[in-house]
Amino acid sequence: MQLTNRAKKLEKKPMTLAERAYLPAIFQGLSITMRHFFMKKATVRYPEEVRPFSNVFRGLHVLKRDEQGRERCTACGLCAVACPAEAITMVAGERKKGEEGLYREEKYAISYEINMLRCIFCGLCEEACPKAAVYLQPDKMAPPRFERDEFIYGKDRLVEPVSPDERSIRGIQLTPEQADTLRSKLQSA
């Protein structure tokens, strides 16, 4: 039965003298490996040499603030609905009087958790968000950790920091570039 028309018809011919002598084939192989000896090496020496991220890289999530430093998230739950991996959970709460400087809308997320072990970094939450609150950063990854519960990122590690140099409770620190942009933003505001 012919399954494909790309199959090559092979005829079993007796080997020629050159084939039986092995040596020409061996020299051919040796020349191939020797060519590779002088080729450019594919290795990236990691800690010294970092491969650039792609422009569309989707890394660690961040919950953005608006221009006045208020949290954008209104806990509508669209991201959680959109999430194919069901990695996002949140608890909504009402903004009290006097908290207008903290939250932009009247409803806000008391807790917002993303399980990085479940997350597949597809970016659907980012697309679903009506308030442009959740973003996947193009230059940061969720780092490996020792305990499973350390992968559940709460608001402490997700919300964009107010101060560029402060480290959040669970150890999220802005990269120098991010800190610089935040600093300039805060100064202009």
The annotation places the binding site for [4Fe-4S] cluster at: 73, 76, 79, 83, 119, 122, 125, 129
Amino acid identity at 80: A
CB of 15 to other proteins, least distance (A): 13
Buried b (16+ CB within 10 A) or exposed e, 90-101: beeeebeeeeee
In 50-142 the beta strands, taken as DSSP E runs, fall at 61-63, 88-94, 107-115, 134-136
Interface region with other proteins, contact rule CB under 8 A, candidates 30-38, 82-90, 149-157, 158-166: 30-38
Q: Which of 6, 37, 67, 189 binds other proteins (CB under 8 A)?
A: 37
Question: Which among 104, 122, 96, 115 is positioned nearest to 160, based on CA atoms?
Answer: 104
Give the annotated binding-site residues. Answer: 73, 76, 79, 83, 119, 122, 125, 129
Minimum separation from the CB atom of position 10 to other proteins (A): 18
* Residues that contact other proteins, how many (by CB under 8 A): 15
Which residue, 3 or 34, is less far from other proteins as judged by CB? 34
- The reply to whether 40 sits near other proteins by the rule CB under 8 A is yes
How do beta strands 61-63 and 152-153 pair?
unpaired
In the list 7, 34, 169, 189, the residue contacting other proteins (rule: CB under 8 A) is 34
Provide the mask over 5-24, with x wherever binding to other proteins is found by CB under 8 A and - wherever it is not: ------------------x-
In terms of Cα–Cα distance, which of 28, 140, 157, 134 is closest to 74? 134
Strands 152-153 and 107-115: antiparallel
Find out whether 137 and 157 touch, Cβ atoms under 8 Å.
no
Contact positions vs other proteins (CB under 8 A):
23, 26, 29-30, 32-34, 36-37, 39-43, 45
